[in-house]
Chain A
Amino acid sequence: MAIYSFFIFDRHCNCIYNREFTHLDHTNGTSVGQVNRNNDSNTSKLLFGILYSLKTISSKLIDSEESESIISNALKSFTIGNYRIHYLESLTRLKFVLVSDNDIDNLQTVLWELYSNYFIRNVVQNSLSPVEFKQSDDIKENETSGKINNSNFINETDDFLQSLPFF
């Protein structure tokens, strides 16, 4: 069982965090990978696209009597080939996504923990971090803005995910 990557999209459809895990060294438990390297890659855009479409379709299929919050999280996971995509959307339209292999059934509690604990504490309550990641075009040259780039968030979520038995 393995978790391959972790994405966060904001409500402007930008990928504000992207963490990819490379499972090379299983012996000593460390894993290498990349942080915020592929935020604008085609994979990231396609992933967002499929999530957005599936979410829209699935909420239409659901009985509209249901409450708003249930509809917004109607889509929880789906499988493509050897990958399973786990999805959680906050009411503020932040989208948390984990990509794993097919053996992991449900990561909703993990996604919720990433949002309710790590994101809130290290991004929202951290007044040195922006909460609005939309960028005007003239600051695109600055690679660090427009993404979650503070070391506490990166390290703590890494530790958390790597401590999971099925990582």
Chain B
Amino acid sequence: MTDEVLDKQTSVSKSALEFLLQELVPTSIRVSHRLQDSAATTASVLADKDEPTVVDTQLSSIRNDLPGTVHVLDSALINNDEVTLRIETYGYNLGLKLAEVLLYKNNTNGTKIVDILDIMKFVCRDVWKCLYNKQMDNLRTNHRGTFVLVDKSYRSIENFNSSKGVHDTLAKARVHLWFPCGVIRGILMSFGVESYVTAEVTQLPYVSFNIHTSINN
């Protein structure tokens, strides 16, 4: 007899998961930089190296981009479409798979998901519970296909605080929010719902996700 997929899980360190997810944005920026570099010069400046990363290994062509520092986030590419799309795509792929696993588990509990509102409730309850160990704090809809999901303390960015002030903090936090946007879009897609998801944050860690679908409910 095989174990249920979700019953096999024991536990993952909250901090470890957060730190891993926080690497998404710097990594995406570095990938874009590397692509730019190799496009600009025929012989790649940063040729593939086999040496392991040490404390003064330059991680990309960004000035002073060393392990443990945050200079990479000051790159001009941080709001580049290529960078944010890459982050969103990670979330999207995760969402597609996660929906499948959660639903399969749900089926045995007898939960029924029939209309779009049920799908949104599924995102608010099951998905958020699985990813962030809490539920969404609020769900609103205009009954014309637009939904607003509010998380009053979105965990991934709650400790963000830049030395350059509130404005800078929010600007960098917004880039990180493309990941959960992608997750939501992926979940909805696995139900066959095309959507456009954006996140708004004006004060940390209060985040609202705006979801536009073409379905009238």
Cβ–Cβ < 8 Å partners of A127 in chain B: 19, 22, 70, 159-160, 176
Does any Cβ of A come within 8 Å of B5's Cβ?
no
Cα A128 to Cα B15 in complex, Å, equals: 15
Contacts A136-B64, A144-B164, A152-B161 given; does A128 touch B18 at CB 8 Å: no
Q: Is the interface of A mostly helix, strand, loop or mixed?
A: loop
Residue in contact with A122 in the complex, picked from B55, B159, B168, B176, CB distance below 8 Å = B159
* Residues on A with beta carbons closer than 8 Å to the beta carbon of B68: 130-132
Within 8 A of B (CB), among A100-127: 121-122, 125-127
Interface residue count on the A side (C-beta < 8 Å):
21
B64 adjacent to A139 (CB under 8 Å): yes
**Quick one: which of B13-27 are within 8 Å of A by CB?**
15, 18-19, 22
Tell me whether chain B's interface is mostly helix, strand or loop, or mixed: loop
Produce 1/0 per residue, B153-171, CB < 8 A to A: 0000001111111001100
A132-B67, A134-B55 known; A151+B165 contact, CB < 8 A? yes
Known: A128-B73, A128-B172, A134-B55. A150 touches B66 (CB 8 A): no
A167 close to B (CB within 8 Å): no
B161–A150 touching, CB < 8 Å: yes
Of A121, A125, A129, A136, the contact of B70 (CB 8 Å cutoff): A129
A5 close to B (CB within 8 Å): no
- Chain B hits for A136, CB < 8 A: 56, 64, 66
A127's closest neighbor in chain B, by CB?
B22
Given contacts A134-B55, A152-B161, A153-B161, contact A128 B64 (CB under 8 A): no
| Least Cβ–Cβ distance between B65 and chain A, in angstroms | 11
Which of A122, A139, A151 has the most B CB atoms < 10 Å from its CB?
A151
Q: How far is the CA of A139 from the CA of B70 in the complex (A)?
A: 13
Residue B69, interface by CB 8 Å: yes
CB distance from A29 to the nearest CB of B (A): 25
**Cross-chain contact A126 with B165 (CB below 8 angstroms):** no
Question: Is B69 a contact of A125 with CB atoms below 8 Å?
Answer: no
Query: Could you say which residues of chain B place their CB within 8 Å of the CB of A144?
Result: 163-164
Bound form: Cα–Cα A130–B64 in Å: 12
Contacting pair B55 A126 (CB below 8 A) = no
Give Cα A127–Cα B159 distance, bound, in whole angstroms: 8
- In the complex, what residue of chain A is closest to B173 when comparing beta carbons? A128
In angstroms, Cα B161 to Cα A125, docked, is 10
B69:A130 contact, CB within 8 angstroms: yes
CB-CB under 8 A for A128 and B165, given A134-B55, A139-B64: no
- The residue of chain A having its C-beta at the shortest distance from the C-beta of B18 within the complex is A125
Contacting pair B66 A128 (CB below 8 A): no
Task: Known A-B contacts: A126-B161, A128-B162, A128-B168. Give 9 more (CB < 8 A).
Answer: A125-B15, A127-B70, A127-B159, A128-B163, A128-B169, A129-B161, A132-B69, A144-B163, A145-B69
Interchain Cβ contacts under 8 Å between A and B, 6 examples: A125-B15, A126-B160, A127-B70, A128-B73, A128-B162, A129-B162
Chain A residues close to B by CB (< 8 Å): 121-122, 125-132, 134, 136, 138-139, 144-145, 149-153
Chain B residues engaging chain A, CB cutoff 8 angstroms: 15, 18-19, 22, 55-56, 63-64, 66-71, 73, 159-165, 168-169, 172, 176
Which 5 pairs, one residue from A and one from B, show the smallest C-beta to C-beta distance?
A132-B68, A149-B163, A127-B22, A152-B161, A150-B161
